[in-house]
Structure 1
């Protein structure tokens, strides 16, 4: 006895496939915007010092307070970049989805460290150890996520072929 599949059985799968490009594009857009925003926030937080907790409330600029530097930008780079990588790959179901946010974030950091403003200043100076460690840790976070993704299966996303 032969069982013939009804055409309505494949309708949900066809509908899922029709939304796949929209989900992939939306996931990539959110991941790229998140990488940009986290990069800007991390650059702004690199000069943060212990005395800034009080001086910021008075309206002073970040970095104007005294005390030792606080490595909040380093922690933020590690956590945000891991979350962005997880979101990009998990939402799209594609391994290549890690590359655009990683490239944007890295290019932003290289631009901030290597381009002078009109006044002759760098956004990230060579003597700012917090910023230099933040660039290293942030890029290594993407690299470690990529390496772990190579070693194991990709998480199931809407575009994955997992059933």
Structure 2
């Protein structure tokens, strides 16, 4: 999905779509605007871009030709859990217990949570080791009443 070149569709959105449709290619190819906007993390603009892309017959033919040439393996999701289901995180600043922020993101997603790039009213937690930072994300989190937690707080949360 990410590699198709659909405007505004990156890896995060591609994962959301794949999860929503349980990786079923035919369902994804027939995705409708109404279904797409119901996916948390996908808004009006992205849903329209995807629907427009998929309604173009040339694009559908290219995808079908590609699907004829590749085979998907079932991926066992051994370590996944729903411990963070329904929770939306934003990660900012440096990390100490993980290699990088992408590793934190991977853990959150394996536990059923979502990671976005900006703090909004839908954000559950902002992870920042400098809780008193004057960064834009910290200011926005305080303004919206979003809890700001350290990496240690996050680790405690997932160990419970």
Query: What TM bracket, shorter-length normalisation?
Result: under 0.3
Give the TM-score of the pair, scaled to structure 1. Answer: 0.20
Q: Give the structure with the larger strand fraction.
A: 2
Q: With a CA cutoff of 8 Å and minimum separation of 6, indicate the structure with the bigger relative contact order.
A: 1
Q: Give the structure with the larger helix fraction.
A: 1
